[in-house]
Amino acid sequence: MTEKPLDIAGAQAVIAKHCRRLPSSPVAVDEALGLVLDEAVVAAGDVPGTANSAMDGFAAQPSAAGTRLTIVGESRAGHPSETVVAAGEAVRISTGATMPQGATAVAPIEVVEESDDTVTLVQELTEAANVRMAGEDLRAGDEVLGAGRELGPAEIGIAVAAGRATLNCTRRVRVAIVATGDELRKPGEPLKPGELHDSNLTTLQAMARQAGAEVVSAAHVGDDRDATEAAFAQALKAADVVVCSGGVSVGPHDHVKGALIGLGVEQHFWRVALRPGRPTWFGSREGRLVFGLPGNPVSAMVTFLLFVAPALRALQGRRALESSAAVLGESIGRHPKRDECVRVRVVDREAFATGPQGSHILSSMTLADALAVIPRGEGSLDAGSPIELLALEP
Ligand code: AMP
Ligand code: MG
């Protein structure tokens, strides 16, 4: 535990030390997007299972241009033909349909002349033309995905093709969100003077889902010590990670730290040498992580991206996102003591600030495609200076 502000990397290192990968469980393939495999997937059979046609056309033996073939049957997708194809014969065939016995090539519909029950080949039909061989994609017994793979749409598709309906994956991280503040009203509610809509509760849920988490609760609580403690007690029951916004500074109505300490959550750090996001708090209790993010909407988003999202990824066994390199398109003033995350638009690898950078100015976040990290220091960082970029979306 330390009261001295850490820098961004120092705070991330403290968090990483407390991230243990969650246990795995079988997950239905249609729930597995974004999860990480905890087993190898092996093909149950050949894919494709049989030789089949790559085109709509006619299956036959290799024949010279001008050959006239008698149509003796049809093979449709899912309905193979029983007919054995002899020389001078053809079976009408659809894309993906199994090749009938005897036939080893397919003349596409576009290169035959059809009349009644015959077709004439306009071009020579060569051996294996337009035929997909059994096992061309996967062979029975092939390892198609290794343990540790992150499941995207293609990985899920190939697991299904390999015969799987469920996959053993590191389970989705469960997140509870708590927004604090007497001034906050639900989306759409009318506002009295001094009130504002609670945007963080919704935005933080969206960010948690974008990082692959399951949001198990989202609650608003006023600036009251007992109510704050009750909200955290509830959140800690169901969640692996609790993310709170607001009430984490030193004001007389900021109850987050006191409530968490009261519940036995151990503080690992409070304050990061960062703008926006200085008052960020991090602690844990029995392996459950708690993040107290500042209430200003941009501060909450920036600190979620820097600290919460990497933790959610690590708990789910996902690799860390890498930053990318760019250069400043314009000169940007530096903060003497804090590294600053500036909302930027990136054009041809050059980063330009999106406008006013106050931590309450969410509109300049909506114009941004990345955060540029401006290291602390005197004066300004000149146009052309190399900088690190953090993507706003995973
Ligand atoms: P706090 O961190 O509680 O001192 O709040 C700092 C600023 O952020 C105040 O202006 C709050 O009104 C604003 N704020 C706090 N929570 C939210 C929220 N959930 N949604 C939008 N703004 C908020
Ligand atoms: Mg507040």
Interval 71-88: pLDDT, tens: 999 999 999 999 999 999
C-alpha to C-alpha distance for 204 and 208, rounded to whole angstroms:
6
Q: Give 375-384 pLDDT, tens digit per residue.
A: 999 999 999 9
pLDDT at 4: 74
As beta bridge partners, residue 373 has: 341, 388
Query: Token pair for residue 150?
Result: 């992150």
Sign of CA dihedral 332, 335, 339, 343: negative
Q: Give 266-317 pLDDT, tens digit per residue.
A: 999 999 999 999 999 999 999 999 999 999 999 999 999 999 999 999 999 9
Query: Token pair for residue 220?
Result: 């608003």
Residue 2: is its pLDDT beyond 50? no
Q: Which residues surround ligand 2, an ion (CB under 5 A)?
A: 181, 246-247, 295
Q: How far is the CA of 299 from the centre of ligand 1 (A)?
A: 9
Average pLDDT, the chain: 97
Closest-CA residue, ligand 1 atom 8, reads: 296
Ligand 1 binding pocket includes 296 (Cβ within 6 Å): yes
Pairing relationship of beta strands 350-353 and 274-275 according to DSSP bridges = unpaired
Q: Give 114-167 pLDDT, tens digit per residue.
A: 999 999 999 999 999 999 999 999 999 999 999 999 999 999 999 999 999 999
Average pLDDT estimate for 307-336? 97
Domains of the chain, CATH where assigned: 8-22+171-316 (3.40.980.10), 37-46+138-170 (no CATH), 52-132 (2.170.190.11), 324-391 (2.40.340.10)
Average pLDDT estimate for 227-236? 98
Q: Ligand 1 pocket test: which of 224, 245, 256, 257 has the largest number of ligand atoms within 8 Å of its C-beta?
A: 245
Give residue 34's pLDDT band: very low, low, confident or very high (50, 70, 90): very high
Ligand 1 binding pocket includes 101 (Cβ within 6 Å): no
Q: How far is the CA of 249 from the centre of ligand 1 (A)?
A: 11
Q: Which residue shows structure tokens 């993310």?
A: 243
Q: How far is the CA of 148 from the centre of ligand 1 (A)?
A: 39
Query: Token pair for residue 22?
Result: 């969650």
Contact 96, 52 (CB under 8 A): yes
Q: How far is the CA of 256 from the centre of ligand 1 (A)?
A: 13
Nearest bound ligand to the CA of residue 361: 1
pLDDT at 3: 60
Chain Cα centroid distance, residue 341: 22
